[in-house]
């Protein structure tokens, strides 16, 4: 089964309104936003990644889901696999502790298990946040809404590529891959205005298609408007192929928001230096779910839009670990 099949099957069980039909990245229960993400060795992090960065990343990717709901971090539960490497385990917990302290996140419990020797590590965290006045879902957007992206795309995938070519690689792109930063303040500022919002974790194109599908719309994206960092363009270039690589690489933890057509996101009180761009718009559903353009001309939509978990296959994408 692939990820979509599993979620479709689970909808028969997850019937409580808090589950939001499993069409979102978080549940909303009694004014709490609750999410759970796991990271697996060989899928979300490399076996030689520093364990302290793995611990940080586990917390950060969960907080990114809270950011996309405009929630304030409150507490977390840790699922930890004990290994035979005490030094690795201790450094990993140092990373968890550093992230919890940085984001004022209280660790209130969890579970520990031991795996057979040589088994890849699988680590999980449940993050709980306090909801704001509005908790935008993936759905809720309408035809004519504009698509805005907050943060850059492509940096993490480019950093991962550098590490696969040279395990000793260093630099900004590697740092971004290993230590993502959840856009919590931006999410809180956007939530009252966004008709739909989600974080970009599996790739901009696949996540934009998911937002459009949940909203009953189609999405068009202008590749020329994608916010790319100077580090990315220096490493990968700035042509259409590079921009598609940035839009499908995943692990970005930017925020994708649908906003009313006349709304100017630049008026919001966002953290200084926040990168933002209006990258496209939504239209009524009736054709392809996703369309791409560059320099005003159509660009073929790639076969692989991003990362999707599949049984017996860690990833369909070559740039995953």
What's the CATH number where 210 sits? 3.90.650.10
Residue 199, beta-bridge partner list: 255
Q: How far apart are CA 277 and CA 265, in angstroms?
A: 9
Structure tokens at 308: 């999707």
**What pLDDT is attached to residue 13?**
78
Q: What is the mean pLDDT of residues 129-146?
A: 95
Q: Using pLDDT thresholds of 50, 70 and 90, give the confidence band for residue 86.
A: very high
- Tell me the pLDDT tens digit for each residue of 267-284: 999 999 999 999 999 999
Last residue of a domain, one of 102, 130, 158: 130
Q: Using pLDDT thresholds of 50, 70 and 90, give the confidence band for residue 313.
A: very low
- Do 75 and 101 have their domain in common? yes
**What pLDDT is attached to residue 144?**
97
**What pLDDT is attached to residue 316?**
34
Q: How far apart are CA 100 and CA 51, in angstroms?
A: 16
Q: Using pLDDT thresholds of 50, 70 and 90, give the confidence band for residue 317.
A: very low
Least confident of 62-66, 94-98, 287-291: 287-291
Last residue of a domain, one of 79, 105, 130: 130
Could you tell me if residue 315 is inside a domain?
no
Q: What is the mean pLDDT of residues 94-123?
A: 94
**What pLDDT is attached to residue 160?**
96
Q: Using pLDDT thresholds of 50, 70 and 90, give the confidence band for residue 5.
A: confident
- Do 150 and 122 have their domain in common? no
**What pLDDT is attached to residue 314?**
43
Last residue of a domain, one of 130, 154, 186: 130
Structure tokens at 282: 């939504």
How many structural domains are present in the chain? 2
Q: How far apart are CA 3 and CA 1, in angstroms?
A: 7
Could you tell me if residue 43 is inside a domain?
yes
Least confident of 6-20, 41-55, 208-222: 6-20
Q: What is the mean pLDDT of residues 135-160?
A: 96
Domain that holds residue 21: 3-130
- Do 174 and 283 have their domain in common? yes
CATH number, domain with residue 35: 3.30.1330.10
What is the average pLDDT value for the chain, to the nearest integer?
92
Q: What is the mean pLDDT of residues 120-144?
A: 95
Q: How far apart are CA 54 and CA 60, in angstroms?
A: 10
Q: Using pLDDT thresholds of 50, 70 and 90, give the confidence band for residue 311.
A: low
Angle in degrees, 0-180, between the axes of helices 86-102 and 51-67, rounded to the nearest 10? 30
Q: How far apart are CA 142 and CA 127, in angstroms?
A: 29
Percent pLDDT > 90 in the chain is 82
- Do 25 and 95 have their domain in common? yes
Q: What is the mean pLDDT of residues 122-137?
A: 96
Higher pLDDT, residue 217 or 321: 217
pLDDT at 70 over 60: yes
Could you tell me if residue 24 is inside a domain?
yes
pLDDT at 231 over 80: yes
Q: What is the mean pLDDT of residues 298-304?
A: 95
Question: Nearest 10 degrees: CA dihedral of 144, 145, 149, 150?
Answer: 150
Q: What is the mean pLDDT of residues 56-79?
A: 98
């Amino acid at each position: 089964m692939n990820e979509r099949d599993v979620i479709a099957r689970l909808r028969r069980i997850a019937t409580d309104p808090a589950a939001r039909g499993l069409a979102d990245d978080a549940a909303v229960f009694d004014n709490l936003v609750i999410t759970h993400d796991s990271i697996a060795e060989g899928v979300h992090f490399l076996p030689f990644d520093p364990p302290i960065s793995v611990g940080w990343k586990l917390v950060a990717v969960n907080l990114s889901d809270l950011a996309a709901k405009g929630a304030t971090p409150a507490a977390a539960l840790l699922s930890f696999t004990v290994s035979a490497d005490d030094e690795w385990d201790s450094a990993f917990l140092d990373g968890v502790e550093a992230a919890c302290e940085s984001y004022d996140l209280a660790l209130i419990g969890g579970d520990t298990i031991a795996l057979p020797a040589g088994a890849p590590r699988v680590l999980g965290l449940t993050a709980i946040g306090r909801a704001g006045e509005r908790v935008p879902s993936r759905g809720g957007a309408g035809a004519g809404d504009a698509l805005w992206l907050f943060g850059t795309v492509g940096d993490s995938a480019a950093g991962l590529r550098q590490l696969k070519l040279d395990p000793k690689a260093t630099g900004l792109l590697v740092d971004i891959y290993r230590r993502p930063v959840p856009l919590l303040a931006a999410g809180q500022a956007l939530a009252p205005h966004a008709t739909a919002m989600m974080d970009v974790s599996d790739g901009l194109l696949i996540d934009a298609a998911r937002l459009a599908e949940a909203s009953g719309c189609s999405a068009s994206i202008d590749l020329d408007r994608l916010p790319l960092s100077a580090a990315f363009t220096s490493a990968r270039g700035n042509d259409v192929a590079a921009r598609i690589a940035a839009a499908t690489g995943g692990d970005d933890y930017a925020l994708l928001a649908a906003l009313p057509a006349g709304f100017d996101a630049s008026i919001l009180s966002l953290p200084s230096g926040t990168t933002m761009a209006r990258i496209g718009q939504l239209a009524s559903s009736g054709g392809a779910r996703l369309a791409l353009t560059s320099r005003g001309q159509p660009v073929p939509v790639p076969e692989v839009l991003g990362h999707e978990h599949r049984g017996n296959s860690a990833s369909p994408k070559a740039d995953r670990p």
